[in-house]
Structure 1
C-alpha cells in the first residue's frame, strides 16, 4: 500500500471562447461570462486509473467543498462564487472505501487570489484584450 499523490491546485482565469468546457465540471451557478475562473487539479494524471479516488477541496468561508474524482474524469472545476478575494484552499485525496492499494494523501494547503472579471456580460465597457 502507498499513499495517493498529494493534490496540487491552481486557479486560472480563462477566456470562455478559448476553453474546452467538456473537460470541466460546472458547479457554481449557470451564468456565463467572457472570462471564467477554473480550479485545476494540476497533478490529475498522477492519480491511479485502476481504482476509484476522490480529491475534496475546501475553502475558507464556503461550506460546500469542490470534488475531483476518478469517476468524474475531469481535472477542471469552474468556480464563480467567492471570487475577487484571497482564499485558502485545502485538499485531501482519499481512496474508495475498502481500497487495499492506496492510503489517503498528505494534505495540501495553499492561499491564493481568485481573480474576478466583469460580472455584467452586456456591459459595453468590457473590452476584448
Structure 2
C-alpha cells in the first residue's frame, strides 16, 4: 500500500475510534498520565470488558500505547497517533479560510461596483 494511502487509512481509523464519546474520554484520562486498565474502567458506568474493548480499538487505531508491568497493563496516549488527523484538520481549516477569504473579497468587489455606491 502506498504511503499516502496508508496515512489516509490510519486517519480514517483514528476518526472512527474517536467517534465514540467514551473513547475520547479514555484518551483524556491517559493524555498526561499512564494508567492501568482497572483505574480507567473505574471512571465509566460500563463493564470492564466494554472498557477493554474500547482500549483495544484505541490501541489498534494507534492512539494508545500499552505497557505491561507484571500482570498489569498500563496505557498512555500516543499523540503521534493523531498526526494524520491533525494534517487533515489543518488542510480542511486552511481550505475553509481560503474559501471565506475569497467570498469576502468577491462580496466587497460586488459592493464596490454597485450603482450609487460611494467609491473613495
| TM-score normalised by length of structure 2 | 0.26
- Looking at secondary structure, tell me which structure has more strand per residue: 1
| TM-score normalised by length of structure 1 | 0.25
- Looking at secondary structure, tell me which structure has more helix per residue: 2
Determine which structure has greater relative contact order: mean sequence separation of CA pairs < 8 Å that are 6+ residues apart, divided by chain length: 1
Higher CA-based Rg:
2
